[in-house]
Amino acid sequence: MNKYIFSLFVIVIFQTTKAQNHTFTKQDSLRGSITPERAWWDLTYYHLDISVDPSTKSIKGKNSVHYKVLEPDSVLQIDLQAPLIITKVTQNDKELEVRTDGNAHFITLKNDQKKGSLQSLDVYYEGQPQEAKRAPWDGGFSWKKDDNGNDFIATSCQGLGASVWWPNKDHMYDEVDSMLISVRIPKALMEVSNGQLRRIEDHKDGTKTYNWFVNSPINNYGVNVNIGDYVHFSEDYKGEKGLLKMDYYVLKDNLEKAKKQFKDAPRMMEAFEHWFGPYPFYEDGYKLVEVPYLGMEHQSSVTYGNGYENGYLGRDLSGTGWGLKFDFIIIHESAHEWFANNITYKDMADMWIHESFTAYAESLFLEYFYGKKAGAEYVIGTRQGIQNDAPIIGPYNVNQPGSGDMYYKGANILHTLRQWINDDEQWRQILRGLNKTFYHQTVTTEQIENYISKTSGIDLSAFFDQYLRSTMIPNLEYEIKDQQLKYRWTNSVDKFEMPVQVVMGEKELWLYPKKDWSLTLINVGDLRVSSDFYVTSKRL
């Protein structure tokens, strides 16, 4: 493998591979499991209301947490990471006792929590939030300056968790139905968060507050604050659900470059509405927001820092040339609007639901504009980044992802599955059906696997066990003797069966290998497995 390209892959998957060989602590369980102090209440709404002071790199404010009582209880868990501190928690103006265990804060409620009732509490907090070491992978607050010396500030927190900068129920299974984000900043700058801008309030002290309202369920890591010397331009997109406002916020100096490069945004929308169905957040609009790091799939405000170049920082991850036909960050991060923001994993172990479909989406974008061969060449090209170091599905309940193979092995699993289904329109309807069936939901891998099995009419349980839960790549072992072909699957899990397309001489045909030998007569000297299948083969 090209060492240079390999190092790029390492960058892409860094966050996910470092998680291997980890011993888990009580803190991991408090963060990664649905603890009893989380389970009894269901989030309905957050109002995050903070001021950001670039001169001291500090934030201060409160989050109002609204919830419905599922089962009466009196202790509730809120997460917030040091060095930020909770200064006060109140419910109905009564100050409440807080017991802290690392990043988990257990609040004892005084009021009766009647089943079915709607309640809220205000969590006040302040401090200097953790500074991002390597955004977006090792996130937090990025306090940067633009070329003109203006503050250029952004948050990123996938994996680490939103509790690195604001107090919340920091587990993916539960999402609010809507959210208001109010951010007070120095007057000279502009602030962009998720959803639609409701109003800007001016204050006498040289600050102003931006109020952004998110009309849809949103996952915690999707919430973001971006502050800079921005200029704004927009366009109306005629999509499957009508008119969609597409807004762009970029640094003043980059306006001309952005007007050119962001032409990929409506192209993206056209391709992905075709493959995945309507953009899932028409009410919240779609935004691309420039940030001082590579980018992230923040819901309805996708962040962008790819240098106004095609490829991944100007490079093609597939090594085929096709990766230079699009801006990697616009295409990849926006595909997450369907797989990550619309359909969201409940547990980070199932992060393939986000990254495999999204890495695969890169090839579907190419297919839409450049044909089926282009998409196939791209996805096959990305195999050079596959490590097979650990299973794609990670350990549950400890907030840990599986192998970084969730990106390009994941993409190739889906490409392989499409060959098996062997009906492009049915395959597209499965992708669209996933987005319709699990619209604005958090899901488990079993829900996704079962949906694809059910709608394709194929029992795919061994297929998913093979590719998601083991590191074995199925091997087609075969022998040709006296015009007889003997073949079977090796290096495979129990009950693994998958048809595979092979080329013999001039002819393409299907074999149906099982774990036991099958036999057929042929009149050619050798065969070749179609490269669309992510398998190996060995002639005995």
Residues that bind Zn ion (CB under 5 A): 355, 358
Cα 540 from Cα 535, distance rounded (Å): 16
Please give the span between the terminal C-alpha atoms of the chain, in angstroms, as a whole number: 26
Q: Which residues contact 190 (CB under 8 A, 6 or more apart)?
A: 210, 227, 228, 229, 230, 232, 249
Minimum CB separation of residue 385 from Zn ion in Å reads 13
Q: Would you say 404 or 474 has its CB closer to Zn ion?
A: 404
Min separation Cβ 353 and Zn ion, Å: 11
Q: Whole-number minimum distance, CB 297 to Zn ion, in Å? A: 6
Give the shortest CB-354-to-Zn ion separation in angstroms: 6
Strands 242-251 and 286-290: parallel
Minimal distance, residue 344 CB to Zn ion, in Å: 13
Name which of 433, 469, 471 is nearest 453 in CA terms: 433
CB closer to Zn ion, 77 vs 358? 358
Task: Tell me the sheet residues that pair with 538.
Answer: 477
d(Cα 260, Cα 531) in Å, to the nearest integer? 36
Smallest gap from Cβ 538 to Zn ion, in A, equals 34
Tell me if 182 sits within 8 A of 47, measured CB to CB: yes
Closest approach, Cβ 452 to Zn ion, in A, equals 20
Cβ 135 vs Cβ 106: under 8 Å: no
> Closer to Zn ion at the Cβ: 410 or 513?
410
Q: Which is nearer to Zn ion, 284 or 355 (CB)?
A: 355
- Residue 447 CB, shortest distance to Zn ion, in Å, is 20
DSSP per-residue letters across 55-124:
TTTEEEEEEEEEEEESS--SEEEEE--TT-EEEEEEETTEE-EEEEETTEEEEE--S---TT-EEEEEEE
Categorise residue 444: left if φ over 0, alpha if ψ from -120 to 50, beta otherwise: beta
What secondary structure does DSSP assign to 136-158, as a single string? Answer: TTB-EEEEEE-TTS-EEEEEE-T
Of 334 and 492, which has the nearer Cβ to Zn ion? 334
Q: Which is nearer to Zn ion, 15 or 466 (CB)?
A: 15
3-state secondary structure of 371: coil
User: Which residue in the block uniquely carries the two structure tokens 């179609």?
Assistant: 530
Shortest gap between Cβ of 12 and Zn ion (angstroms)? 8
Residue closer to Zn ion, measured from CB, 61 or 404 = 404
Query: C-beta of 355: minimal distance to Zn ion in Å?
Result: 5
Nearer to Zn ion (CB atom), residue 79 or residue 355: 355
Say if residues 52 and 227 touch (Cβ distance below 8 Å). Answer: yes
Question: Which two tokens mark 394?
Answer: 């990670």
User: What's the rounded Cα separation, in Å, for the pair 529 and 536?
Assistant: 8
Closer CB to Zn ion, residue 208 or residue 287?
287
Note the Cα 465 to chain centre separation in Å: 22
d(Cα 338, Cα 331) in Å, to the nearest integer? 12
Closest CB to Zn ion among 402 and 474?
Answer: 402
